[in-house]
Amino acid sequence: MNVGVVGNPSYRDLKSILAHLAQVAPRLGLTLFTEEHIAALWPEPAPAPLHGAPQLECLVTLGGDGTLLRGARSLNGARTPILGVNLGRVGFLTTANAQTLDWALDVLVRRAYATESRLALAPFILDKQGKSRPEPVVLNDAVVHKGGVARVIRLRVSVDGDEVGQYSADGIVVATPTGSTAYALSAGGPIVVPGVDAIVVAAICPHTLAVRPLVVPSQASVTVEPIPPWTEDVLVSFDGQVGTTMQSGERLVVKRSEQAVLLVRLGPEGFFARMRKKLQWGDLSDRERQ
């Protein structure tokens, strides 16, 4: 089984976990491939580079949700299941941790796992001549905002060419159901259950009470366009990790990706159980019984 490994070197346990993976891989029949920036953390000889590897049967991410998001982008639309191993605190998208890694690998080899299909977005920048610039496929969100210090920006939002209105806000988040529990939630957006085919549009700190988050069909095309003179120092961030600039006359177009992201799920724990456990949803434990 060809397995790619993506990791976050800021976690101090990563080196020992990589050593453990290298030790158990031959017994489990795993051929490992590593992203290059963690290659030096493996025991010698390190696995072959992930870039240029043959078709992967699974991608293991070692870190937190951010590491899983980066791993999903690295697949560039390939339908490779992602096994997220949490080395951090929350790990809402992950399904295993350092203590359950051996069990997770055994389940992986036996192919006794389930997968969740998660809607992804395929954003691109469109200039005034109609030329498009594709951007990375994202699992969480694409965000239009000002660069530098926090400043208000005015943006025009359209859905399938139909103008929704002008927004005066710190930015606009266009999120998947997966991303609805991330930045969009902090911006006041709704939680959308992953199985729902929808896209969330939420303003960041809108400067009017008349603006509320939108939920639109996943087949819709969402366009966000800065309005002059608010067209300087405009940035677009993808999954909060990579980004690009927008020039005057350009606009962000976000559509559903043709390919979904597949997340490995182990055991019976469902979405709402993870919400209760990791986001403390509905937690009343601090209230004393009357």
Helix, coil or strand: residue 2: strand
Task: Look at phi and psi of residue 36 and say left if phi exceeds 0, alpha if psi is from -120 to 50, else beta.
Answer: alpha
Of 221, 139, 210, the residue nearest 180 (C-alpha): 139
Sequence-separated contacts (24+) of 72-77 with Cβ below 8 Å: 72/120, 72/137, 72/139, 72/261, 73/136, 73/137, 73/138, 73/139, 73/238, 73/239, 73/241, 73/242, 74/6, 74/35, 74/50, 75/261, 76/136, 76/137, 77/120, 77/137, 77/257, 77/258, 77/259
Catalytic-role residue among 13, 65, 106, 197: 65
Neighbours of 36 (CB within 10 A): 10
Of 88, 7, 94, 98, the residue nearest 47 (C-alpha): 7
Report the C-alpha gap between 140 and 142 in whole angstroms. 7
Active site (annotated) includes residue 127: no
Report the C-alpha gap between 269 and 265 in whole angstroms. 8
Report the C-alpha gap between 100 and 46 in whole angstroms. 23
Question: Is residue 77 exposed (0-12), middle (13-18) or buried (19+ Cβ within 10 Å)?
Answer: middle
The identity of residue 99, as a single letter, is Q
Active site residues: 65
